[in-house]
Amino acid sequence: MDEQSVTLSHDEGIPVITFVILHPTYCIVKLSLKAPDTNNWVQVLETDNRAQSAFEISFDDPASFPDGNPVGNDVQDFDGWRLGWVVFFDGHSTTAVDPYAITIGMRQGQNAVMHPEFKKQGDFDGPAKVFNGYVKFKVV
């Protein structure tokens, strides 16, 4: 399968990851980074939808992205890095028909840069749903 690329412009700001998680279903998202020319994913962030269901995480937030990751003022540093995620939905619910839905996107300034966005939605057919995916940054 072809690797999805996210093209960043070196003239624009630090990219921001956007999340929209619909429905009252508990969802956990784990974000990982993979440095250029390495094989290891390093988990950098874990969050859930308890406090907010639509939120953004900026790469220049040192609390979210600690040292050693593409954090900085220069977008050029992102070239060749990969951002990945693993999403978990808890299907133990109290209603007969329970859907799950998440959209993960990315923007640079006001421009959406991840095409297509990562979208998963459906109804539970089991007590848990897990999805993963990743993109590779390319700076032009």
Partner 1 sequence: MKRALYEYLLSGFISLAAVATGFAQSHDFLKDSIAFEKNVSAERAMPDLSVPESPAFTLLGVTPANVTRPGTPRAFAASLLDAIDKNGTLQNGIAIDTAPLLNGTTLADYRNCYLKRFLANLQLSVATTKGKEKDAATQTGLGLHLVLYNGDDPRLNNGVLNATRAIYDSLYTAWKIDPQTPPERLALFETAVGKALTNSAIFARFKQRVEALGDPGKSKFRERDHVWTAAAALSNRSETSTIQTLRYNGWGAWSSYSIGLGKSSPNQLILHARVRFDERTAALKDSVAVVDYYHLLGVRFRTNISKVKVSAEGAVTNSKTTIEVQHSKDIMSRQVNYAAGGIFSVVMEARLNPNLWLNLSLYSEAFKENKVNTFGFKTALKWAAQL
> Given the rule CB under 8 A, which residues bind partner 1?
21-28, 30, 32, 34, 41, 46, 48-54, 82, 84-86, 88, 90-99, 123-134
* Residue 83 beta carbon to partner 1: minimum distance, rounded to whole angstroms: 8
**Pick 42 or 139: Cβ nearer partner 1:** 42
Closest CB to partner 1 among 34 and 107?
Answer: 34
Cα–Cα distances (Å) from 116 to 105, 112, 134, in that order, read 8, 10, 12
Residue 25 or 108 having the CB closest to partner 1: 25
- Shortest Cβ distance from residue 29 to partner 1 (Å)? 11
Q: Are strands 111-112 and 118-123 parallel, antiparallel or unpaired?
A: unpaired
Within 10 angstroms of residue 59's Cβ, the number of other Cβ atoms is: 26
**Closer CB to partner 1, 29 or 71, in the complex:** 29
Which of 95, 110 has the CB closer to partner 1? 95
Give the residue among 69, 68, 98, 103 at the shortest CA–CA distance from 85. 103
CB of 56 to partner 1, least distance (A): 14
Residue 84: CB minimum distance to partner 1, A: 2
CB of 73 to partner 1, least distance (A): 26
